[in-house]
Amino acid sequence: MGWRFLTERETAPTACYDPPPVFLLLSLALACAADQIEEEDCFAEEPVARIGGGAVDFEELAAGDTIDMVTGSQGGEHIYGSLRLWNTDEIVVIHYTIARDDDGSLISDQTYRVAMVEDEACGHVYAGMYGYLGFTSDYTVALQGVQVTLRIDATDSEGRAASDEVAVLIGTDG
């Protein structure tokens, strides 16, 4: 059987029900309204941030946990940071810092502008931020076992902001 073009009066046979156009418009309007209500509900709540670790996925961190210092492919040391954020837009500027608790010195200071991944209602996650510590040396070796505070300040494209921090110990190269 070959191909042929339909004339203006002919129509192709259909195997499914063609709903009337009014039904399609009503369905589309209701779906859009549901999305808008959900987004507005999320923005009605205060933003909340949680800092974590993890190169690929968000990993919970609690005060006193040990987080590994990782040697990168070019010989630099870093600590992975991740962010879980609720009640914000998905476009976010993240300021990620690491400071020593013993003397307050800032040992890493990074800024990222990212599109976060939605992972639950009103919630987004972004994993794998580098907190650069420097190149493998006596300095980075001396950081092992030191208590530091990981801090994240996040601001979305609408100006909503949230922060979180956690004091952890730097572990050996993982």
CA 35 centroid distance within chain: 20
Rounded Cα distance, 106 and 2, in Å: 74
User: Which pLDDT score, from 0 to 100, does residue 160 have?
Assistant: 96
User: Which pLDDT score, from 0 to 100, does residue 34 have?
Assistant: 42
User: Which pLDDT score, from 0 to 100, does residue 134 have?
Assistant: 80
User: Which pLDDT score, from 0 to 100, does residue 170 have?
Assistant: 94
> What stretches in the chain show pLDDT beneath 70?
1-40, 136, 138, 173-174
* Two tokens, residue 95: 């300021």
The predicted-structure confidence for 33-81, as pLDDT tens digits, reads as follows 444 445 668 889 999 999 999 999 999 999 999 999 988 888 888 999 9
Rounded Cα distance, 10 and 5, in Å: 9
CA 129 centroid distance within chain: 10
Strand partners, 70: 78
Q: Quote the pTM value.
A: 0.75
Q: What are phi and psi of 88, to 5 degrees?
A: -135, 170
Rounded Cα distance, 86 and 48, in Å: 5
Report helix, strand or coil for 39. Answer: helix
